[in-house]
Structure 1
Amino acid sequence: MNYTIKQANLENLDETAVLFNLYRIFYRQEDDYEKCRNFIRERLDNDQSDIFLIYVDNKAVGFVQLYKLYHYVKLAKQWLLSDLFVHPNYRGKGLSVALIERAKKWCDETGACGLMLETEKTNDIGNTLYPRCGFEYDGLHNYYYWWR
């Protein structure tokens, strides 16, 4: 499948927000395009994340969103692969792998030591995809959350 990957900016805010809204719906969140659009705008306006869009036939069909972190052992910058989504109509065509490869290349371009991610235990697709793309499962750590 022919595709192109471009870094998102405010010029493609709307198409990024549409995909981000669909991504959140996939994770059982309410449909809220405007809230998603505002969230993405704020990330881009404040240089808080880097987003790459994948296009097929000039249509954005997926994205990966990365947040900068720092690794305490390696004493280096790393990226949190926070969000990865491909529209259901385009799945199974290698587009997720292409987005992950672009994220790895971003590590090289920015001098980062690597990528980390987490996904739900029930995300069968992701839990199959990530090891296939060279990610190692870290069974030694528990991830905890505190929500206000």
Structure 2
Amino acid sequence: MEFNIKKASLKELDTTAELFNLYRIFYRQSDDLEKCKQFIKERLDNDQSNIFVVYADGKPVGFVQLYKLYHYIKLQKQWLLSDLFVHPDYRGHGLSVALIDRAKQWCDETGACGLMLETEKTNYIGNKLYPRCGFEYDGNHNYYYWWK
């Protein structure tokens, strides 16, 4: 399958938001395209995230979204691989791996020390994919959340 990956801008807002909406639905969130569109627009307008979209058969079929963080041990910038999604009709063709590889390339381009991510324990696809892509499981830390 031929594909290409492009860094998203506001020109791709509609298609990026559609993919983001599908991603959220995958994680059992309600369908809300307009809210997703506003969310992505704010991230891009304020330079708060970097999104790369993969195109196959001439249409957008997946994306990866990265947020800037800073690593306290390495004393360097790192990227949080926050969101990774490939449309179910296009899975199994290496597009997720290609998006991860593009995120790794972004680390090189921006002088970042690496990527970090978290995923649900029930994300069986992701939990098989990430180690294959060179990610190491960190069983030494607990992640906690505080929600307002």
Could you tell me the TM-score, scaled by structure 2's length? 1.00
Structure 2 unaligned regions, length at least 5: none
Alignment partner of 1:6 is 2:6: yes
Aligned to 1:60: 60
> CA–CA distance in 2 between the matches of 1:103 and 1:32?
27
Q: Identity of counterpart residues, as a percentage?
A: 80
1:81-105 Cα distance to aligned partner (Å, 9 max, x none): 0000000000011000000000000
Which residue is equivalent to 2:80? Answer: 80
Q: Which amino acid aligns with 1:72?
A: Y
Task: Tell me the residue number matched to 1:109.
Answer: 109
Provide the C-alpha distance between the structure 1 equivalents of 2:121 and 2:56, rounded to a whole number of angstroms: 30
SS at 2:22 equivalent: helix
Q: CA deviation at 1:119?
A: 0.1
1:39-58 map, 5 Å: 39-58=39-58
Q: Secondary structure at the match of 1:65?
A: strand
Deviation, structure 1 residue 6? 0.2
The Cα shift of 1:58 comes to 1.6
Tell me the distance in 1 between the aligned counterparts of 2:70 and 2:96: 25
Q: Distance in 2 between matches of 1:58 and 1:112?
A: 31
1:25-69 Cα deviation digits (max 9, x unpaired)? 000000000000000000000000000000012200000000000
| Mapped partners of 1:57, 1:93: distance in 2 | 12
TM-score by length of 1: 1.00
Question: Aligned equivalents of 1:27 and 1:62: distance in 2?
Answer: 15
Cα distance in 2 for partners of 1:32, 1:143 equals 28
